[in-house]
Chains A and B, each alone.
Chain A
Amino acid sequence: GEDVEQSLFLSVREGDSSVINCTYTDSSSTYLYWYKQEPGAGLQLLTYIFSNMDMKQDQRLTVLLNKKDKHLSLRIADTQTGDSAIYFCAESAYSSASKIIFGSGTRLSIRP
């Protein structure tokens, strides 16, 4: 069945780059998403990538997709304290009834 896996924790120094990794199993996945969740809040869409792309950049965020290995990563450049949150990877297969499957989330903490 479909599954999305992420490492649970990541700690980086302020100003460094953060790289959050995700693997997925559904080869028919067509969209892959990154969401950010701050304490007590809902999920905020950060960015998403279509499976026929291998990279997408949006300001400090860079998404890399390796479709052969079913590996997705999110790089945050110049990490700031406001980036502290839980980051969720999610996948869906294209259809009008597409189901979005989420990973368990990676908690990013920032060291001064």
Chain B
Amino acid sequence: EAEVAQSPRYKITEKSQAVAFWCDPISGHATLYWYRQILGQGPELLVQFQDESVVDDSQLPKDRFSAERLKGVDSTLKIQPAELGDSAMYLCASSLGGGSPLHFGNGTRLTVT
């Protein structure tokens, strides 16, 4: 069964450094999502792409976070500079859109020290 690939699996960085996460969605899935999940909470949407276009980034802290999906396939989420409060699991998901279920990757666990 096709899967959403994410890397790295774990990332430890010092505050004020830059970090980047990568996601490769399931082939043919036009919609791609980045979620942040703080320990003990449900995932919160950071940004949603339809092909290469951003359709929702209302919860993305744009002063430090950026996301791109240049060719409408894989995507990169960047944080610069990282802050202690950014420690969380960053989950990527993809779907066919139109209410189709999201399929999640295994996430990147970020720890900011």
Contacts and interface: CB of A to CB of B under 8 A. Distances in A.
A45 interface: yes
Interface string B45-83: 100101000011000000000000000000000000000
B98 A96 contact: yes
Interface stretch (A36-44, A55-63, A70-78): A36-44
Specify which of A33, A42, A94 lies most central, judged by the most chain B CB atoms within 10 Å of its CB. Answer: A42
Interface string A82-112: 0000001000111111111111110000000
Interface string B80-102: 00000000000101000111011
Classify the secondary structure of A's interface with B. loop
B104 interface: yes
Interface residues of A, number: 27
A93 B98 CA distance: 9
B55 A100 contact: no
Interface of A: 4, 30-31, 33, 35, 40-45, 48, 88, 92-105
10 contacts: A42-B91, A42-B93, A42-B104, A43-B91, A88-B43, A93-B99, A94-B98, A104-B40, A105-B41, A105-B42
